[in-house]
């Protein structure tokens, strides 16, 4: 898989953007799975089958917004390695809607705490993400075991918003990797959203975490204590690079086993 990942990354980083159809040329056919929706829309999912005597369940992986799963330094190793300890992994690319600081707040503001954009800015983002996730869940609902989501960066914020609005999509547990949203007020609200989640939450920060992640990291844990969240855990990865990837995989594996998943 590593060889194919390098080929794909080279394709993504050179020349014009690579379409979903073009990705078929760079990936093993047994890992390609097309999700078909209404209006002839279709989305590419990556899939790796479990490699143990029994299937523990399904792990859905969503990288940071604007990234392909194999471009993500921390999503990719979970996708590749979780099948070794009994999970079937599925990876989706987030929608291509643009998310930036200046479209999440009043652009003209020069204050340190600019006015946040109206909450409706998230509606099309959640709708586009829901469409992809719903199609995938329709294909996996009959499979045995647990459902765990691993979500990264901005996508983690959009996913938690979606679950608040559509609780029928709720997995059994969620893992957050470097979760943030690049706007001060909304990033602060993310701390509340994480701490009050009804799910078992593993909240991971890597050694390379950006300022948005670091800004309210301690607050999330304090709020989890305030709201008496019994299944919230924070983990700081002490290693970076390839060692950080291995630490991440081991951390997720151990946490899942601790909860009986």
Identify the CA nearest to 92 among candidates 105, 79, 82: 79
One pLDDT digit (tens) per residue for the chain, 261 residues:
455 544 454 444 444 344 555 556 667 788 888 898 777 788 889 999 999 999 999 999 999 999 999 899 999 999 999 999 999 999 999 998 888 887 888 766 666 677 888 888 899 999 999 999 999 999 898 898 999 999 999 999 999 999 999 999 999 999 999 999 999 999 999 999 999 998 999 999 999 999 999 999 999 999 999 999 999 999 999 999 999 999 999 999 999 999 999
pLDDT at 21: 54
pLDDT at 191: 97
Would residue 15 count as lying in a domain?
A: no
Quote the domain boundaries for residue 137: 31-100+116-258
pLDDT at 141: 87
Q: How far separated are the first and last CA of the chain, in Å rounded?
A: 26
Please give the structure tokens belonging to residue 179: 């979760």
pLDDT at 25: 63
Would residue 19 count as lying in a domain?
A: no
Would residue 24 count as lying in a domain?
A: no
Tens of pLDDT, residues 74-91: 999 999 999 999 999 999
Would residue 252 count as lying in a domain?
A: yes
30, HSE (Cβ side, Cα atoms, 13 Å):
5
Would residue 240 count as lying in a domain?
A: yes
Query: For the chain, what is the domain count?
Result: 1
CATH number for the domain spanning 188: value is: 3.40.50.1820
pLDDT at 165: 95
Tens of pLDDT, residues 111-151: 667 788 888 889 999 999 999 999 999 989 889 899 999 99
Q: In what order do the strands lie in the sheet with 201-205?
A: 32-36, 42-48, 87-92, 57-62, 146-152, 173-177, 201-205, 232-236
Residue partners of 203: CB distance under 8 A and separation at least 6:
176, 179, 194, 220, 232, 233, 234, 235
SS (H, E, C) 103-121: HCECCCCCCCCCCECCHHH
pLDDT at 104: 85
Would residue 46 count as lying in a domain?
A: yes
pLDDT at 39: 73
State pTM to two decimals: 0.89
pLDDT at 214: 95
pLDDT at 12: 47
Would residue 206 count as lying in a domain?
A: yes
């Amino acid at each position: 898989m590593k060889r194919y990942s390098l080929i794909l990354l080279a394709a993504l980083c050179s020349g014009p953007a690579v379409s979903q159809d073009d990705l078929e040329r760079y990936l093993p056919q047994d890992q390609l799975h097309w999700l078909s929706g209404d209006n002839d829309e279709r989305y590419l999912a990556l899939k790796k089958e479990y490699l143990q005597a029994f299937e523990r369940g399904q792990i859905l992986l969503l990288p940071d917004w604007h990234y392909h799963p194999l471009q993500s330094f921390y999503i990719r190793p979970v996708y590749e390695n979780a099948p070794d300890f009994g999970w079937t992994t599925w990876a989706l690319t987030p929608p291509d809607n643009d998310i930036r600081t200046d479209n999440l707040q009043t652009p003209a503001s020069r204050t340190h705490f600019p006015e946040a954009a109206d909450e409706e800015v998230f509606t099309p983002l959640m709708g586009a993400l829901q469409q992809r996730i719903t199609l995938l869940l329709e294909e996996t609902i009959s499979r045995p075991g647990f459902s765990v989501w691993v979500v990264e960066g901005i996508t983690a914020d959009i996913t938690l918003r979606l679950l608040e609005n559509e609780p029928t999509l709720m997995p059994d547990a969620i893992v957050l990797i470097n979760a943030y949203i690049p706007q001060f007020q909304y990033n602060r609200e993310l701390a509340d959203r994480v701490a009050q989640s009804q799910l078992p939450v593993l909240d991971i920060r890597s050694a390379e975490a950006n300022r948005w992640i670091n800004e309210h990291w301690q607050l999330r844990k304090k709020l989890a204590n305030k709201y008496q969240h019994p299944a919230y855990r924070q983990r700081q990865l002490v290693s970076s690079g390839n060692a950080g990837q291995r630490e991440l995989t081991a951390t997720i594996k151990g946490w899942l086993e601790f909860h009986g998943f």
